């Protein structure tokens, strides 16, 4: 039971990191160098999952520039 309660509290903490306005712990001037947006997952890297998001953003926007 303790393990389950601990896992539930961890999940609640991770849910509170993101709001519709953006991520809570990001610096206010954080912007993605590829899409130029702030408040997105790619705007500030502080975890492995956000690094993957930035890699996907890089791939997406570099391919668009090559097509033009």
In terms of residue numbers, what domain contains 58?
A: 2-67
User: What is the secondary structure of 2-67 as a DSSP string?
Assistant: HHHHHHHHHHHHHHTTEETTEETTS-TT---TTT--SSSTTSS--SHHHHHHHHHHHHHHHHHHHH
Alpha-carbon distance of 27 to 64, in angstroms, equals 28
> Stretch 2-26: mean pLDDT, rounded?
66
Which two structure tokens, joined as six digits, stand for 21?
A: 């306005």
Question: Structure pTM?
Answer: 0.65
pLDDT digits 0-9 by tens, 31-61: 999 999 988 889 999 889 999 999 999 999 8
Residue 17 has pLDDT above 90, yes or no: no
Q: Count structural domains, the chain.
A: 1
Q: What is the pLDDT of residue 58?
A: 92
């Amino acid at each position: 039971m303790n393990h389950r309660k601990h896992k539930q509290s961890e999940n609640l903490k991770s849910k509170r990191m993101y709001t519709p306005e953006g991520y809570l712990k990001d610096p206010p001037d954080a912007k993605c160098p590829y899409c130029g947006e702030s408040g997105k997952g790619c705007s500030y890297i502080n975890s492995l999952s956000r690094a993957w998001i930035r890699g996907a953003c890089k791939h997406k926007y570099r391919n668009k520039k090559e097509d033009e």
